[in-house]
A and B are shown apart, each in its own frame.
Chain A
């Protein structure tokens, strides 16, 4: 579903990603871990098409197409969903309005009909329940004055309504209390399916106790420095990232010197 090859990305002329490779197939859940500032959110933003992230080398293919050629809205309509690490507040735009406009944009794009108000409300209320969210949040401005946890739940609510093909969750678990984490994890698990892929960016093993990933990757020095099965997360929890970075550095130095 998603193939990233030799991705180089700069932000304000500063190289952040330097040769990242990643392949995610339909039905898989991948976890991406890595130290602060290593470029995890950068990767997420590049996938979502955020302006200011300049791809200088490499390619990203999504469903067999060149993802980088698509505008952000077209990526979303093609099924890419990013749950933001820092969801944006939009005063003056009701949460329910955004949900409906987004869902209908998606349905129109796929040649379907728009949902009428009654069906839409029924759909949203069902998802709201799944996310254990108060209905009042629907009628408030998008994320405005939401608590940190409410914002994260709201992201997953949007995901549940929009039913993406590829979901990227950027630290959705950060700032959630234990009960909320379970709710969010349940919401995510409910959406796992053979047609859908997910990338979970996280710092914590705990999320992965609830959502068991197929693969775990460590992003360091601008690339995937190490990949493994679910057990890798536990090892990282014990040993930290220092050793991964050190090994990656060694490999990098070796490859820079050439095969010799």
Chain B
């Protein structure tokens, strides 16, 4: 059974599409219109997932299904938004700001982006790219009609804008690209879509950052697609800092070429209900995938991470480390799927999920899902759920460190290795500042 027309959310979207479609980016492009229409039909058929779907067993989206979200084709930029952008800016990055799903050049910096870019690098708005570089962009929409679930279908139908990052062979972006998605509307839905393509040997760091107001039950339904050419390297950090009542559903998928390296960080701090699907397909020989994650929840937050590492070719290595820190009545889900296909001999895959529960009420469902079809492979996984160590806590206190500081210190120590792969210093500092508790002055 699907959540269909009997709940207000789905009919709400179904009724607005016909009139909205003409105002969406690329409405005049037949191929894109077709793609959107197919996705829309797919959404109409799928509806929203329910807990009867294996992939959504522990995450109920009933709270989303009950609401009607507004989708609008235009936005306003207030002074308040400017302040939000400044607060979330990350030093040393090239920033693109999207407000309620629409690119705002005036808040992005440095502008024009192109002036500071190396030759062969194109960074811009996807809405503009579909017009300007249709041939390059179109292939990534080909599969919109068979979106895996209602949320990705919805995004493919309604997407309003997002980043288009295209790097020619050998292009290395020095500064990280900071994609800042700001939601302002209290009952709005936004549908950002990002496309990242790295040619042979190209490399870049992309920070995908979602923020919004605490008091509003808005929906962010995001999709990011990443294609890595031979020997390319992409570091993608997804930082979810949505408002406390927000719904956030994200789908990130990478396709890796030979000897490429994909480094993913999925970091969740905000939202009332958030779900991130992070997938990579090691589609050619010698790929390297590193997936790290950290979810920090309290109150009644629900945070779900579904990852999929698909070893489809020989000699691939993958390292996955997800950590959770859950306080009060927070709840988390980790589902780590690792597929080793028959051809993927000499695969080396490691997965680990570790959870720290700071209260009796906090809960986590952790599930490794290993599907191994090749025989010459090294595969290991482990999951733990524990509390702060009483001996460690006492040891710190016995050295004069107050209980709050001691707890903060141990939580940081626990989270440290999930953030260790973050290379951009200011981003790492930002993340550390988001961890619970203030620290005694550092060395």
Residues of A within 8 A of B (CB): 48-51, 71-73, 75-77, 82, 84, 87-94, 96-98, 100-102, 104-106, 109, 114, 117, 120, 141-142, 158, 162
Contact = CB atoms under 8 A, between A and B. Distances in A.
Given A90-B392, A92-B416, A92-B417, A97 B442 contact: yes
A97 B396 contact: no
Interface string B407-428: 0011011101100000000000
Nearest to B391: A88
B443 interface: yes
Contacts of A101: 399, 401, 405, 409, 440-441
A161 B399 CA distance: 11
Nearest to A96: B443
Given A51-B390, A51-B394, A72-B394, A94 B399 contact: no
A101 to B, nearest CB: 4
B23 to A, nearest CB: 51
A88 B400 contact: no
Given A51-B390, A72-B394, A98 B399 contact: yes
19 contacts: A71-B403, A73-B397, A73-B406, A87-B395, A90-B410, A92-B416, A93-B396, A93-B409, A94-B443, A97-B443, A101-B399, A101-B441, A105-B402, A105-B405, A105-B440, A114-B441, A117-B443, A120-B443, A158-B399
B115 interface: no
Contact of B397 (A76, A84, A89, A104): A76
Interface in B272-314: none
A69 B326 CA distance: 31
A80 B134 CA distance: 72
B398 interface: yes
Contacts of A141: 413
Contacts of B392: 88-90
Contacts of B442: 97
B33 to A, nearest CB: 53
B412 A105 contact: no
B443 A50 contact: no
Contacts of B401: 73, 98, 101-102, 105
Contact of B400 (A90, A102, A120): A102
